[in-house]
Copies of this chain bind each other. A is one copy, B any other.
Amino acid sequence: MEMFNALSIFSAMSQPVRLDMVRILIKAGDSGLLAGEISQALDIRPNTASTNLSILVNSQLLRKERQGRTIRYFVNFEVIKDLLTFLMEDCCGGNPELCQSVIDKVACDH
């Protein structure tokens, strides 16, 4: 992961609505949630939801998929793993491998 990427992910998660979005999508796991479900769950306007979801998609933390006239959003669990690896790089006394095997599992094998 590049610095630029990591920054846009942290920036994306530094806003209450967006952090909530990420968290309910992590809970939702592989089945994701529809844009409408998300805006209802968080009680925000559809356009606000849309803008914030696209910020999360641009950061690559989420991905989306059109299904008929709805759009379903998912967390990119791989990206979470990469982010943690980037952050903890060279931790453990310069032996990132020590952390690696652990980090590999943080995203619950999604």
Residue numbers of A with Cβ under 8 A of B are 3, 6-7, 10-11, 13-16, 19, 22-23, 26-27, 29, 84, 87-94, 98-99, 102-103, 105-108, 110
Copies in the complex: 2
- Report, nearest first, the 3 A-B pairs whose CB atoms are least far apart: A11-B14, A10-B14, A92-B108
- For residue A82, give the distance in angstroms from its CB to the closest CB of chain B: 14
Report chain B residues within 8 Å CB of A87.
22-23, 26
Q: Is the interface of A mostly helix, strand, loop or mixed?
A: helix
Report chain B residues within 8 Å CB of A99.
105-106, 108
In the complex, the answer to whether A106 meets B84 with C-beta atoms within 8 Å is yes
| Of B16, B19, B26, B88, the contact of A106 (CB 8 Å cutoff) | B88
